Structure 1
Amino acid sequence: MAIRKMVRTDIDAVSALCIAAFDDTVAPTVSTQGSETFRKLASTEAFRQRLEGDNVLLVFEEGETLKGMIELKEGRHLTLLFVSPQHQRQGIGQALIAAMSAYARATDITVRASLTSVPAYLRYGFQCTGDADEAAGLSYQPMVLRVVAKP
C-alpha cells in the first residue's frame, strides 16, 4: 500500500475512479444537471488543470491498483475524496485524510460533502458547519475538520 502524489500518468485512472464512485453512490441522488456538473469536474482535462494549480492530489494504490484519491485545494479545502466502490469501508478514506492533513496550510480544512458521504466525513472527524445547500445541481453539506497545528 502506498499513498503518493498524483502524476500525469494517473489522470485517466483517477478520472475513471471518481466517476465510478460517483455513479455508485451519489449520482442516484442528484439531478441530471448535478451529474453533468460532476462529470466536468472529474474529466481528464479538469484533472490536468488541477495538477498545475495550487492543489495537492494524492492517490492510494496497492500493487498496480489505484483504490482512492483525495484533493486539497490551496492547503485549506478538500475538493474531492473518492474510493473505488469495491474498496470502500476498508480504511482507505481515513488514510487519505490523514495523509492530506500533512499538506494543510490552515487549522480548518473545509469540505462541501455530498449528502451521501456525510456519515463517512463524520467518522473522519469532520463537523457540520451549517445547513445543506445546492450548487450547480449538486447538494452538499458544509463541514470542517480542525487539524493539529504543525510545530
Structure 2
Amino acid sequence: MQIERASQADAASIQMLVEQVSTQSILPDLTLQGRSAYLRFMQEEMASIFEDARYLIVKMSQGQDLMGFAALRDGHYLSHLFVALSWQRRGVGRQLLNALCAHARSNQISLRSSINALGFYQSLGFQKTGPEATYQGIRYVPMRLQLRR
C-alpha cells in the first residue's frame, strides 16, 4: 500500500470511486433535490479539481487497486475523503487524512461532513462546530480538527 499525490491521470478511477461510494453511502441520506445538487456539484468538482492549484490531492493504492483518495483545499479545508467500500474500516481514511495533515498550512482542518461520515470523523478527533445544516438539499455537519504540532 502506498500514498502518493494523485494526478489528472487518476481522474477517471477517482470519479468511479466517488460515484460508487456516493451511491451506497451518501445519496440515500439526501432528498431528491439534494441528490441532484450533489451529483451536479461532484461532477463539476471532479472535472476541475486536478487543475486547481489550491488543492493537494492524494490517493492510496495497492497495485492497480485504488483504495481511496482525499483532497485538502487551501491547506486547511478537507474537501474530499472517499474510501472504496471494500477498504472501509481498515484504516485507509485515517492514513489519507494523516498524509494531508502533514501538509496543512494551519493548526486546524475543517470540513463539512456528510451525515453518514459523522462517526468516522468524530473517531479521528473532529468536533462539531455547528448544527446539521442543509444546502440545496445536501445535509452536512460542519466540523474541525485541532492539529497537534
Letter of the 1:75 partner, please give it: G
1:87 paired to 2:83? no
Letter of the 1:62 partner, please give it: Q
Question: Structure 1 pair 48/94, CA: closer, same or farther in 2 (3 Å)?
Answer: same
Distance 1:142 1:8 in 2: 29
Alignment check: 8 A CA contact 1:8 1:48 kept: no
Quote the offset at 1:148 in angstroms. 2.5
Residues 4-29 of structure 1: CA deviation (Å, up to 9, x unaligned): 11111100110110111111111111
Alignment check: 8 A CA contact 1:67 1:84 kept: yes
Runs of 4+ in structure 1 off by over 4 angstroms are none
| Aligned residue in 2 for 1:52 | 51
Task: With the length of structure 1 as denominator, give the TM-score of the two structures.
Answer: 0.93
Query: Over the residues paired in the alignment, what is the CA RMSD in angstroms?
Result: 1.2
1:21 paired to 2:24? no
Q: Which runs of 5+ in 1 are unaligned?
A: none
Alignment of 1:35-46 (within 5 A): 35-43=35-43, 46=45
Distance 2:41 2:19 in 1: 10
Residues 46-103 of structure 1: CA deviation (Å, up to 9, x unaligned): 3241122201111110111001011111011111111111111010000011001011
1:102 paired to 2:102? yes
Distance 2:58 2:40 in 1: 20
Alignment check: 8 A CA contact 1:3 1:61 kept: yes
Distance 1:126 1:24 in 2: 23
State the secondary structure of the residue aligned to 2:46: helix
Residues 105-138 of structure 1: CA deviation (Å, up to 9, x unaligned): 1111101001110000011111111111011211
Count of residues in Structure 1 that have an aligned counterpart in Structure 2:
148
Alignment check: 8 A CA contact 1:69 1:82 kept: yes
1:5 paired to 2:22? no
Quote the offset at 1:40 in angstroms. 2.5
| Aligned residue in 2 for 1:119 | 119
State the secondary structure of the residue aligned to 2:112: strand
Letter of the 1:49 partner, please give it: S
Letter of the 1:103 partner, please give it: H
Letter of the 2:48 partner, please give it: Q
Alignment check: 8 A CA contact 1:113 1:141 kept: yes
Alignment check: 8 A CA contact 1:107 1:148 kept: yes
